Structure 1
Amino acid sequence: MSDRHANIAGTRILIVGASSGIGHALALAAHSRGARVALAARRIDRLGQLAAELDGSAHELDVSDPHAIEDVVHQVGAAFGQLDAIVFTSAAVPFALIEDTDYTTWLHAYSVNAVGASHVLRTALPYLTENSVAVIASSHDVGHPRVGVAAYHASKAALDEILRSWRAEHPELAVIRVSVGPTEGTEILRGADRDLLADLYRAWAHQGQIPAKMSAVDDVANAMLSLVAVARANPSVVTDIVHLAPRASR
């Protein structure tokens, strides 16, 4: 007999940010656990191959574009009929000192990390089931910012406040904010300037912000999926804030 607190078989899930990192691992884990998946991300070439392997659907999506969000959510909603869960892992992480972070960079970080996530929920509302769950990835560093990542941390802090408003106005919807700590196997550093990263790494190490060992991406993905199962199995409660941090080594 399957454990209902771990079982997501048959669950219809939209995974936003599924082309790499945690989102990619989530897609693989969700399929292996019997869920039906719709995958959305910017890199449609990578996404199409993954969707074919998982008998799912692939949707090109830049979450800074509200019209693209609406098109994709309506496509997925029409195909599934209803949505049991949304998992949002997309993130814009510009690496720059705060005085070098220009206006456009600030706006893009907020449009992806905060407003984009909220607009996905807003557009999905008509398709959500009575016992649906939204799992939104945030940052473990909110409130404890690292040097060189101001736009990312500030936009994730804004996301956290937006999610509080979602819970206040839609208590029937299980909205779970997951603060994710350092995780191996992601592409968070993709495209960053290597010389700048070397300087930032030294600053993070000096401030004690480099863990001895990072979390495994598959463990993070399965933990997030288990939150979906637990929330659906226990509809009178919601784990609204969860911290996933690397386990301290001895």
Structure 2
Amino acid sequence: MSGQLQDAAGLRILVVGASSGIGHAVATSAAERGAKVAVAARRMELLTQLAKSIDGTAFELDVEDLKAIERVVGEAASALGGLDAVVFTSTVVPFAYIEDTDVATWLHAFAVNTIGANNVLRAALPHLSENGVALITSSRDVGRPRAGVAAYDASKAALDEILHSWRSEHPELSVIRVGMGPTEDTEILRGADRDLLEELFKSWVEHGQLPAQMSALRDVAETLVSLVTTAYANPSVVPEIVQLAPRIRPRTKNAADQQ
């Protein structure tokens, strides 16, 4: 579908957090649908490969660094000739029981997931076109936290409140908050303690918090790009809060027989 659909043709999009996972897939989908794309993240080797594959521009960025955010967003806007959309997907998920979550872990989670997102939106504000869109990824689990991810859940809850304030103070902006559900092929578990994860997975299963299937990465990326293109094309409407969840499909008879 993406090879034919060109609904993002000409849109100038900056994707922050694009070195892997959802951000990488969003950048790829947007480019395939005709957008001019700039990508930003910390891991430049991966980012440079992505930029080459989509004919885009790569910028090294640590979203905990305000000065770097201001510089990179400005440079990306210059490279693209302005911004029609900024998509923020950078996320850290520290896995730890709440009593074992130290101060440094709390601060890191909030610095990336909450303050980093706010600062990217703040830096993008003067560069966004009249119908410009800001899409910020949050968590579908806000308000119903799972064991072992307190810093992540709290930082995303705080992010939601910040986005409410952006809408209140800047009603002219199209700010889309997307609650992400479980998605395949991301790096959310990268570096996590495997023994701890085994304990947490058991807890999540016991509490019905682990779905039987996860959403496909490609489908999630296409949905996020569609939200951007729809909001840009229909500027009198803002899809303010969107929740993504896996669609659980029954196994086919042949697949069941093979078990």
Residue 255 of structure 2 corresponds to none
Instruction: Specify the code of the residue in structure 2 equivalent to 1:52.
Output: K
The superposition leaves residues 79-134 of structure 1 with CA deviations (integer Å, 9 ceiling, x where unpaired) of: 22310001100001100000110001101100100110010011111111000001
Under a length normalisation based on structure 2, what TM-score does the superposition of the two structures give? 0.93
Map 1:181-196; keep pairs closer than 5 Å. 181-196=181-196
Tell me if structure 2 keeps the 8 A contact 1:6–1:230: no
Residues 89 and 172 of structure 1: CA distance in aligned 2, closer, same or farther (over 3 Å): same
Report sequence identity in percent: 65
Q: C-alpha separation between the residues in 1 aligned to 2:91 and 2:233? A: 29
Q: C-alpha separation between the residues in 2 aligned to 1:141 and 1:131? A: 30
Residue 203 of structure 1 corresponds to 203
Residue 80 of structure 1 corresponds to 80
Shift in Å, 1:233? 1.4
The superposition leaves residues 30-50 of structure 1 with CA deviations (integer Å, 9 ceiling, x where unpaired) of: 111000000001101100011
The superposition leaves residues 1-35 of structure 1 with CA deviations (integer Å, 9 ceiling, x where unpaired) of: xxxx9711110000001011111111111111000
Residue 116 of structure 2 corresponds to 116
Residue 149 of structure 2 corresponds to 149
Shift in Å, 1:164? 0.5
Ranges of 4+ aligned residues in structure 1 off by more than 2 Å:
none
Tell me if structure 1 keeps the 8 A contact 2:19–2:41: yes
Under a length normalisation based on structure 1, what TM-score does the superposition of the two structures give? 0.96
The superposition leaves residues 58-92 of structure 1 with CA deviations (integer Å, 9 ceiling, x where unpaired) of: 11111111111111111112222310001100001
Tell me if structure 2 keeps the 8 A contact 1:11–1:84: yes
Shift in Å, 1:163? 0.4
Q: C-alpha separation between the residues in 1 aligned to 2:213 and 2:125? A: 39
Q: Which has the larger radius of gyration?
A: 2
Tell me if structure 1 keeps the 8 A contact 2:16–2:88: yes
Shift in Å, 1:248? 2.5
Q: C-alpha separation between the residues in 2 aligned to 1:27 and 1:172? A: 25
Greater mean alpha carbon deviation, residues 214-223 or residues 70-79: 70-79
Q: C-alpha separation between the residues in 2 aligned to 1:23 and 1:127? A: 21
Residue 140 of structure 1 corresponds to 140
Instruction: Specify the code of the residue in structure 2 equivalent to 1:116.
Output: G
* Partner secondary structure for residue 134 of structure 1: strand
Tell me if structure 1 keeps the 8 A contact 2:22–2:221: yes
Residue 95 of structure 2 corresponds to 95
Tell me if structure 2 keeps the 8 A contact 1:133–1:228: yes
Residue 19 of structure 2 corresponds to 19
Residues 6 and 163 of structure 1: CA distance in aligned 2, closer, same or farther (over 3 Å): farther
Residue 125 of structure 1 corresponds to 125
Greater mean alpha carbon deviation, residues 228-237 or residues 182-191: 228-237
**Bigger RCO of structures 1 and 2 (CA < 8 A, at least 6 apart):** 1
* Partner secondary structure for residue 226 of structure 1: helix
Tell me if structure 1 keeps the 8 A contact 2:37–2:80: no
* Partner secondary structure for residue 133 of structure 1: strand
Residue 8 of structure 2 corresponds to 8
